[in-house]
Amino acid sequence: MGLLHRTAQIAQEYLDTVGERRVGATLGFEDVLATLDCPLPEEGEDAEVVLETLAALEPGMIATAGPRYFGFVTGGALPVAVAADWLVSTWDGPHFGRAVSPAGAAVEDVTARWLLEALGLPRDARVGFVTGATMANLVGLASGRHRVLASAGWDVEEHGLHGAPPVRIFAGEEVHVSLLKALRILGFGSAGATRIPVDGNGAMQPGPLAAALREGEGPAIVCAQAGNVNTGACDPLLPIVAAAREAGAWVHVDGAFGLWAAASPRLAALVAGADGADSWALDAHKWLNVPYDCGVAIVADGEAHAAAMSATAEYLLASDDGLTKTPEMSRRGRQVPVYAALRHLGRRGLAGLVERCCEHATRLAAAMEGVEGAEVLNDVVLNQVLLRFDSDDEVTARTIEELQRGGEAWLGGTVWHGMTAARVAFSNWSTEDQDVDRLATALQHALAAARAGSPVR
């Protein structure tokens, strides 16, 4: 059998059984190291042997693609998106513009349009396909940095920040760490951001933001969020955008997963006002369920976007705007699996995927509310559920450990309002009601085991 046929067979077998295998890994890091660590071979080995060596690592993988993986916010890739991703690898080659990849550029244009339509964002916004929401945050904020400083008469691309007018940055207390990282990379420093108070579910309060904006003047960027990484809460974008407009500030929305709510008529109200912002960060590898790594940077002000991302050289085609959309120059054809997923799902399928995940969150919360000692800590507005057991950090941590050990499902922990909590995220197309019920049962068993083994009880 040819190498790629064999690879397809391995992949098919994996995906056919991933829903029933143990979710956690059975091989740990050290075990895996022992099977593959060797001196760099002097002579190369057969491709088939190398492939089988890699395939044998499967027990060291957590089944994140499967229906009962609820860790972080990790979508399982749709088969059509996996297949499209294989084509991207097969075609190889960078996809940064028409000269180097006419097909890639055409797919990029159509996919960008579809995304803007699906999410109700300005149709003339520019779209760049990046590695993830961290990079998308960087692109949005770099574009904002350009615009607010250009408006103050400063060319930041030419002169950098040294000597520039100060830029006031505003972000909620519950801003995602990747946004702070982007601020650091851009030279603003994460400590420089004025942190705005949030409500009990982690959404930024627009009143204090408006007051903080009024307190000073000059270039300003507001960093809003759709989808709190713990609770799923979305900042109220309508009043946030209104306050920012009044102050002449740029508004960036980190919508890594929460902005997908805009694709559902039932959930779109959660992110109402998003279309009035200036830039948006979105992950396709989370809720659109395409393979890692794929984020989307969207910027309404095309000139600011192009200025922030521009790179020109004699050997490059100045007319090719594919080079001014992302921090990377050469890049993978990430838009291709996004195109495949959107075309396969259609508008209705996309809305259905997002809605189903939210229904699963509600279903789990309802099931756990009936369990003695279990408590749902968050207001379940989207796809995230925070659970605590016996009002006790240790019992909660042990319950998470027991659940992971059991292998029926996998989820991680967090700290919410100073309390240890189990964090459950629903973002996989293949999760069904019965998987949610299996999780609820597994959590009860894990809680019982945690109580039995816990020194505090």
Ligand X SMILES: Cc1ncc(COP(=O)(O)O)c(C=O)c1O
Under the rule (CB under 6 A), what is the footprint of ligand X? 73, 132-134, 176, 178, 225, 227, 229, 254, 256-257, 283, 295
Say how many C-beta atoms besides its own lie within 10 A of residue 330's C-beta: 10
- How many angstroms separate the CA atoms of 435 and 452, rounded? 25
> Which residues are 69's β-sheet partners?
410
296 DSSP β-pair partners = 129, 282
**Least separation in angstroms between CB 428 and ligand X:** 15
* 145 vs 153: CA distance, rounded Å: 12
Q: What is the DSSP letter of 199?
A: -
Q: How far apart are CB 419 and ligand X at their closest, in Å?
A: 20
In 198-320, which ranges are E strands? Answer: 220-225, 250-254, 279-283, 295-299
The alpha carbon of residue 412 and the mean position of all alpha carbons in its chain are separated, in whole angstroms, by: 16
Give the residue with the Cβ less far from ligand X, 105 or 233. 233
Q: Which one, 66 or 227, has the nearer CB to ligand X?
A: 227
Residue whose C-alpha is closest to residue 118's, from 251, 227, 268: 268
Buried b (16+ CB within 10 A) or exposed e, 38-74: eeeeeeeeeeeeeeeeeeeebebbebbbbbbbbbebb
Q: What are phi and psi of 423, to 5 degrees?
A: -115, 120
List the beta bridge partners of residue 221: 169, 250
Query: Cβ 352 to ligand X, closest distance in Å?
Result: 22
Q: Which two tokens stand for residue 127?
A: 């779209």
- The rounded distance, in Å, linking the Cα atoms of 438 and 142 is 44
Closest residue by beta carbon to ligand X: 132
Shortest reach from residue 132's CB to ligand X, in Å: 3
User: By three-state DSSP, how is residue 206 classified?
Assistant: helix
> Which residue, 328 or 432, has its beta carbon nearer to ligand X?
328
Least separation in angstroms between residue 405's CB and ligand X is 24
The tokens for 201 are 């579910």
Q: Which is nearer to ligand X, 111 or 225 (CB)?
A: 225
Residues 141 and 221: beta-carbon distance below 8 Å: yes
Among residues 235 and 301, whose Cβ is nearest to ligand X?
A: 235
In whole angstroms, the minimum distance from the beta carbon of 133 to ligand X comes to 3
CB of 72 to ligand X, least distance (A): 6
- DSSP secondary structure code for residue 226 in this structure: B
Q: Which C-beta is closer to ligand X: that of 247 or that of 259?
A: 259
Cβ nearer to ligand X, comparing 354 with 446? 354
| Least distance to ligand X, CB of residue 396, Å | 21
> Of the two residues 11 and 62, which places its CB atom closer to ligand X in the complex?
62
What's the CA gap between 26 and 14, in Å, rounded?
Answer: 15
